[in-house]
Chain A
Amino acid sequence: MWRDALLVAGKDIRIELRSRVTLWQVVPVAVLSLVLYAFALGPVRHTLSSAAPGLFWLAVLFSTVLATQRSFAIEAGEGTRDGLRASGIDPAGVFLGKAAAIAAELAVLQVVLWASMTVLFGVQVHTVWLALVASVLATIGLASAGTLYGALSAGLRVRETLLPLLVLPILAPVLLAASRAWAGALAGPVAGGVSWLRVLGPFALAYLVVGIVLYGPLLEAG
């Protein structure tokens, strides 16, 4: 399973490095959304800084949908999905590999968004470890849930419009918990943010396990 996961993740990342869809399309859209949020909220520094965590994770959330769609567009080519199934590769490995590639793209995106937010909203992270742990857990959860629902909608003609409809409500707990954890990390006092890690951790673990178990049947059904 782990060998197959590395193989699939390496393939997806190599394709991304060559096509640069995330770099030239997903990241700019996410940064642009931050800029537009700033326009919408107005130039009041306090308003911007208090809204910053929520806007950051909202941008990450929408980018997750785009990254997931891109990940499954790779397999939508004629014969590639069948080729993957026919190879006898472990479906759990495919799930982990695709989720890992999406997670890597989201990690790069978050670094860019963090830098943009610092410039646009004038915020600083005071408790770096809390922000990092929250980001890691949220990214695992987003990538796992995104990959699972991406597989669910992959075989359908309406997948582009169905995926956001399926996945956005599911990811709402991540948006809430990651925003609150980051609000704590930005404000300084740790206690307020740490408790939200108890939401992010189980969410990430649950979708990781469910994805490993269900990805095979979903791949076959598609």
Chain B
Amino acid sequence: MSQIPMDPVVRLRGAVALTGRFPALSGADLTVSRGEVVSVVGANGAGKTTLLRVLAGLVPPRSGEVVVLGVDLCQEPAAVRRRVGLLGHAPSLYDELTARENVRFALRAAGVGAGEVVGALERVGITGRLASTPVGGLSAGQRRRVALAVLVARAPELWLLDEPHAALDPGARELLTGLITGAAAGGAAVVFSSHEPEAAAVLSDRQAVMGGGRITELRPGSRRAKLSTVGEGDSHVA
């Protein structure tokens, strides 16, 4: 972990973004470094989802400074998409395609070779008959696993997860924890939203509390403390 460069993957300064006419982000500030896991918590409508969609290049910021992986999203909101992986509220899957076909399509669409399909599905526990079942016939939790397999295979530099624990059973939650930890250990930055502040804090290095479209508080998470016991003691500044 000591080899991971600490240049910021995400740099937000006074970011403003609209959802329709409503200012869903109204001056958010946040910095996220490589290898760091940041959880975002807040009430419904606080701006968590919009924040993630701005970072994914799906919602163009109206003003402020939004730089992701060195790309100014105020100028080129779409330029960063192939380097970022977003798991939204609803998995981006086609019901009529099988899990394997969905992952293969997502990888090819992202310009990534489709050689990792089977391995990625196995890592999220979608194997055998499940992998060749149209995803419309899978449970919500299984569909979420398939969507996670896309992220695993793509290995983006920035993981954006919108309430990733929703619809997951305890086993899948453990799997998700492993994936987030593994991504961060590999040098990716991870930002995820949650409605469970305590559980999210355990998974993250820092926790951003949102309200009214702003980040009102940044507090340390306990993952960082755990990692420091095995040699990671880098500091992160928002």
Interface residues, chain A, with chain B CB atoms under 8 Å away: 4, 7, 11, 14-15, 18-19, 74, 77-80, 82-89, 220
Number of A-B residue pairs, CB cutoff 8 Å, is 69
CA distance A85 to B82 in the complex (A): 10
Is A79 a contact partner of B108 (Cβ separation < 8 A)? Answer: no
Bound Cα distance A72, B110 (Å): 20
CA gap between A220 and B59 in the complex, in Å:
9
Tell me, yes or no, whether B173 is within 8 Å of chain A by CB. no
Residues in B whose Cβ lies below 8 Å from that of A89: 109-110
- Quote the shortest CB–CB distance from A11 to chain B (angstroms): 5
Closest chain B residue to A89, Cβ basis: B109
B82 with A15: CB separation less than 8 A: no
- CB <8 Å contact, A7 and B96: no
Are the CB atoms of B109 and A79 closer together than 8 Å?
A: no
- Contact status of A79 and B96, CB under 8 A, knowing A14-B101, A86-B58: no
B109 contacts A84, C-beta separation under 8 Å:
yes
B90 at the interface (CB under 8 A from A): yes
Q: How far is the CA of A4 from the CA of B109 in the complex (A)?
A: 7
Chain A CB within 8 A of B111 CB: yes
Q: Which 8 A-B pairs have the closest CB atoms?
A: A83-B92, A78-B90, A88-B82, A79-B90, A88-B81, A87-B109, A79-B92, A89-B109
A11 lies within 8 A of B82 (CB): no
CB distance from A30 to the nearest CB of B (A): 22
Taking A14-B101, A19-B96 as known contacts, 10 extra A-B pairs with beta carbons closer than 8 A to each other, sorted by chain A number, are A14-B96, A77-B90, A77-B93, A77-B94, A80-B92, A80-B93, A80-B94, A82-B92, A84-B109, A88-B109
Binding site for A on B (CB under 8 A): 53, 56-58, 78, 81-82, 84, 86, 88-97, 101, 105-106, 108-111, 134
Evaluate whether A15 and B94 lie within 8 angstroms (CB atoms) in the complex, with A83-B106, A89-B109 already known. Answer: yes
A14 touching B95 by the CB < 8 A rule? no
Which chain A positions have C-beta within 8 A of B56? 86
- Please classify the interface of chain A as helix (H, G, I), strand (E, B), loop, or mixed, using the class held by over half of its residues: helix
- Given A14-B97, A14-B101: A88 in contact with B110 (beta carbons within 8 A): yes
A74 pairs with B94, CB closer than 8 A: yes
Say whether, besides A7-B109, A84-B109, A88-B81, A15 and B96 are in contact (CB < 8 Å).
yes
Whether B96 lies near A86 (C-beta < 8 A) is no
The distance from the CB of B59 to the nearest CB of chain A, in whole angstroms, is 10
Q: Is the CB of B81 within 8 A of A87?
A: yes
CB proximity of B76 to chain A, nearest CB, Å: 12
Per the bound structure, the CA–CA distance linking A19 and B95 in Å amounts to 10
CA distance A88 to B80 in the complex (A): 8
A87 touches B110 (CB 8 A): yes
Least Cβ distance of A13 to chain B in Å?
A: 11
A90 to chain B, nearest CB (A): 9
A residues less than 8 Å from B96 (CB atoms):
14-15, 18-19
28 chain-A/chain-B pairs, Cβ below 8 angstroms: A7-B108, A11-B97, A14-B96, A14-B97, A15-B96, A18-B96, A18-B97, A18-B134, A77-B93, A79-B89, A79-B93, A80-B92, A80-B93, A82-B92, A83-B88, A83-B92, A83-B106, A85-B78, A86-B56, A86-B57, A86-B58, A86-B81, A86-B92, A87-B109, A88-B82, A88-B110, A89-B109, A220-B78
Measured between alpha carbons, how far is A184 from B44 in the docked complex, in Å? 64
Contact A82 B110 (CB under 8 A): no
Q: In the complex, what distance in Å separates the CA atom of A79 from the CA atom of B94?
A: 10
Task: Considering the complex, give the chain B residue whose CB is closest to the CB of A17.
Answer: B96
Q: In whole angstroms, what is the CA distance A15 to B136 when docked?
A: 12
B134 to chain A: which residues have CB within 8 Å? 18
- Min Cβ gap A10→B in Å is 8
